[in-house]
Each structure stands twice: as structure tokens, then as C-alpha cells.
């Protein structure tokens, strides 16, 4: 079974308008709400692709209830740990082809709810399961929380994929997750130097540095519309995705990771899992807002994705 953990979820509210006008009434043509947070996105994609996962997350207030309703509508299985603070909202203004993202701050959650996360994981997860831990932490929670959670899961015999940034990512790496999926900017912050995504050897060397220092078995570096690189002890693979018109790139990395983990748990080899992941990430840019990928688009793009073992 695949589980996802999202510690800092949000509701993404897209407002579609024609023009921003100073000191004048701006009419919203329409709006759309989406359940958001990187781990939730992973579970949504797995559901769309025909797989099964359980999304574990912290939800509070009427916004949290709205997220539950939206997950119910999509058929995503979830376990919500109810917290006192209202779940945060991101406002995205879509003005023609331009986009403005307004991220509201979240509030600290009760310490006992952090312990409830551990208890929930212990109750649901069994040896051999896979857990995808994604995204940021609630306000005031130390990055060490991720260190402890990953150590705990690894001790239980769980395979862990970890996708975060900055100090959270560095803290999680200490616990040696099985796989990580940084983008080029997150990779640069881990190795403390700017990595040129167009220099494949530079990307590979940075991934090897993480492999050597933290014993991470699978390092997937997403390179946007340039594809991705997978570094393992058994080899290095390069993924090339087709060039497509971008409607919204939000969630493409989450879709890539979701498809990769799903296919790996089904027994696919690296090449097949990467091809499906590349198709899922590419398909996501064809949908507006955070609708993520559609299976019919993924299937159509699958054979247009090129995967090559380069080392």
C-alpha cells in the first residue's frame, strides 16, 4: 500500500479575471478550488492513474472541511487529523496568461497533534508499505520533525520517498530516505552551490554527492520541460519529455513522483517507471490550475517520452 503524508496542506483558490485595475472593482469571471499540498497531489495523481493510496494530512476549520469534500469528489482515500487552526488558503490570480500567487501564512498546530501523526502512521502502516512524505511543515515545527518521522518509518521496514526543500530536506536526508525528488533549485540548495541544469554531468555529480553523503538509493532530479535524471548505484537514466503548450505547470513534479512510485510498487523497472512518470508530469502542464494530469493524456504521451540509461 502507498501512503502519503502532507503536514502543511492548503486550499488553492484560482480566481480568473480579465484585468487588474488599481482603485477599481475587479470582477472575477469564475473561480475554482483545489485540494492542495504536495503529498495530497501525489495521492490525487495515483487515484487518477488507477492506483490506490491513502493521504494522511492535518486539516482544520471550514477550509479543512472543504478540502475533505473535494477529496471525496475525486475519490481520494484519506485520513484527516483534525487540528484547531484553520487550514491555509493560497489565492492564485489568473490574469490572461499571467499568474499571481498569494500564499497566506498558516498557524501553529497543537503539539499533541504532531504526536497524533506518529500514532496514525503506527496504526495504519505495515512493513513493506511505501510512504511518500512531501512538502513543508506547519509554522513553528522544527525540521527535525522530518528526521524523526523518517527514522521511525525506516525502523519499521517502510520504504520512504521524501520531497521537500531547504532545511526540511536537509533534516530529512539525515534519516536516509530511500528516494528523493528535488528540482534543480532544491538540489542546488542541498549541495550549497548553483547547479546548471543544462550540464548533465554537473547534475549527476551533485546527485552522486547526495548518494555518497546520505545513502539515498534513488535520487530523481526534475528538470522542468527538460525532463529528469535518476541516479542510483546501478546506473543513471535521463528522461526527455515532449515539448507541449503549458497551461499550468503547477503540480508537474508531484505527478512525476506519483507515477514513478506507483509503477515501482507495481514491479516496473526504472525505464518503464520513468517513462510513465515523464508522461504524467508532461500531461499535468496541459490542465489549468491544479487539476493535475488526466490518464488519457498520460497514456497518449507515454510513447513520446524518451528514457536512456547514460551510465
Q: Compute how many other C-beta atoms are within 10 angstroms of the C-beta atom of residue 122.
A: 11
Q: Give the alpha-carbon dihedral of 108, 110, 116, 121, to 10 degrees.
A: 10
pLDDT at 199: 87
pLDDT in tens, 64-89: 999 999 999 999 999 999 999 999 99
> Bridge-partner residues for 221, per DSSP?
229
Q: 3-class secondary structure for the chain?
A: CEEEEECCCEEEEEEEECCCCCCCCCCCCEEEEEEECHHHHHHHHHHHCCCCEEEEEEEEHHHHHHHHHHHHHHCCEEEEEEECCCCEEEEEEEECCEEEEEECCCCCCCHHHHHHHHHHHHHHCCCCCEEEEECCCCCCCCCHHHHHHHHHHHHCCCEEEEECCHHHHHHHHHCCCCEECCEHHHHHHHHCCCCCCCCHHHHHHHHHHHHHHHCCCEEEEECHHHCEEEEECCEEEEEECCCCCCCCCCCHHHHHHHHHHHHHHCCCCHHHHHHHHHHHHHHHCCCCCCCCCCHHHHHHHHHHCEEEECC
Q: 546501478: which residue's cell?
A: 234
Mean pLDDT of 201-229: 92
Q: How far apart are CA 115 and CA 118, in angstroms?
A: 5
pLDDT at 27: 87
pLDDT at 123: 95
Mean pLDDT of 163-171: 95
pLDDT in tens, 99-131: 888 888 888 999 999 999 999 999 999 999 999
Mean pLDDT of 261-288: 94
Q: How far apart are CA 28 and CA 5, in angstroms?
A: 34
165 is catalytic: no
pLDDT in tens, 237-254: 999 999 888 887 788 899
- Domain extents for the chain? 1-107
Sheet holding 98-103, edge to edge: 30-36, 10-17, 88-95, 98-103
Using an 8 Å Cβ cutoff, are 30 and 16 in contact?
A: yes
Nearest 5°: phi and psi at 112? -65, -25
Name residues whose C-beta falls within 8 Å of residue 66's C-beta, 6 or more positions apart in sequence. 11, 33
Q: Does domain 1-107 have CATH number 3.40.1190.20?
A: yes
Annotated active-site residue in 12, 41, 163, 254: 254
What global pTM score does this model have? Answer: 0.93
Sheet holding 179-180, edge to edge: 77-83, 53-60, 2-6, 130-134, 159-163, 179-180, 218-222, 228-232, 235-240, 306-309
Max Cα distance, the chain (Å)? 60
Using an 8 Å Cβ cutoff, are 183 and 189 in contact?
A: no
Instruction: Indicate the average pLDDT of the chain.
Output: 93
pLDDT at 175: 96
Amino acid at each position: 500500500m502507498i501512503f502519503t503524508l502532507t503536514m502543511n496542506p492548503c486550499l488553492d483558490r484560482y480566481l480568473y479575471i480579465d484585468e487588474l485595475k488599481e482603485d477599481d472593482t475587479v470582477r472575477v469571471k469564475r473561480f475554482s478550488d483545489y485540494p492542495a499540498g504536495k503529498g495530497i497531489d501525489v495521492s490525487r495523481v495515483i487515484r487518477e492513474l488507477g492506483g490506490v493510496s491513502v493521504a494522511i494530512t492535518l486539516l482544520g476549520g471550514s477550509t479543512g472541511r472543504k478540502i475533505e469534500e473535494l477529496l471525496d469528489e475525486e475519490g481520494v482515500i484519506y485520513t484527516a487529523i483534525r487540528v484547531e487552526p484553520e487550514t491555509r488558503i493560497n489565492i492564485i490570480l489568473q490574469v490572461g496568461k499571467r499568474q499571481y500567487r498569494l500564499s497566506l501564512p498558516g498557524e501553529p498546530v497543537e503539539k499533541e497533534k504532531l504526536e497524533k501523526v506518529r500514532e496514525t502512521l503506527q496504526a495504519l502502516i505495515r512493513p513493506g508499505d511505501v510512504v511518500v512524505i512531501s512538502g513543508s511543515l506547519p509554522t513553528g515545527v522544527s525540521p527535525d520533525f522530518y528526521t524523526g518521522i523518517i527514522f521511525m518509518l525506516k525502523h519499521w521496514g517502510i520504504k520512504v520517498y521524501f520531497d521537500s526543500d531547504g532545511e526540511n530536506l536537509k533534516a530529512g536526508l539525515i534519516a536516509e530516505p530511500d528516494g528523493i525528488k528535488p528540482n534543480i533549485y532544491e538540489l542546488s540548495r542541498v549541495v550549497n552551490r548553483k547547479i546548471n541544469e543544462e550540464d548533465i554531468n554537473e547534475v549527476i555529480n551533485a546527485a552522486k554527492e547526495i548518494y555518497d553523503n546520505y545513502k539515498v538509493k534513488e535520487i530523481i532530479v526534475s528538470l522542468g520541460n527538460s525532463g529528469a535524471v535518476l541516479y542510483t548505484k546501478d546506473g543513471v537514466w535521463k528522461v526527455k519529455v515532449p515539448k507541449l503548450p503549458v497551461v499550468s505547470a503547477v503540480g508537474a513534479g508531484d505527478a512525476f513522483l506519483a507515477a514513478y512510485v506507483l509503477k515501482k510498487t507495481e514491479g516496473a523497472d526504472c525505464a518503464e517507471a520513468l517513462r510513465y512518470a515523464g508522461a504524467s508530469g508532461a500531461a499535468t502542464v496541459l490542465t489549468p490550475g491544479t487539476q493535475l494530469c488526466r490518464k488519457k493524456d498520460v497514456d497518449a504521451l507515454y510513447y513520446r517520452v524518451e528514457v536512456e540509461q547514460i551510465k
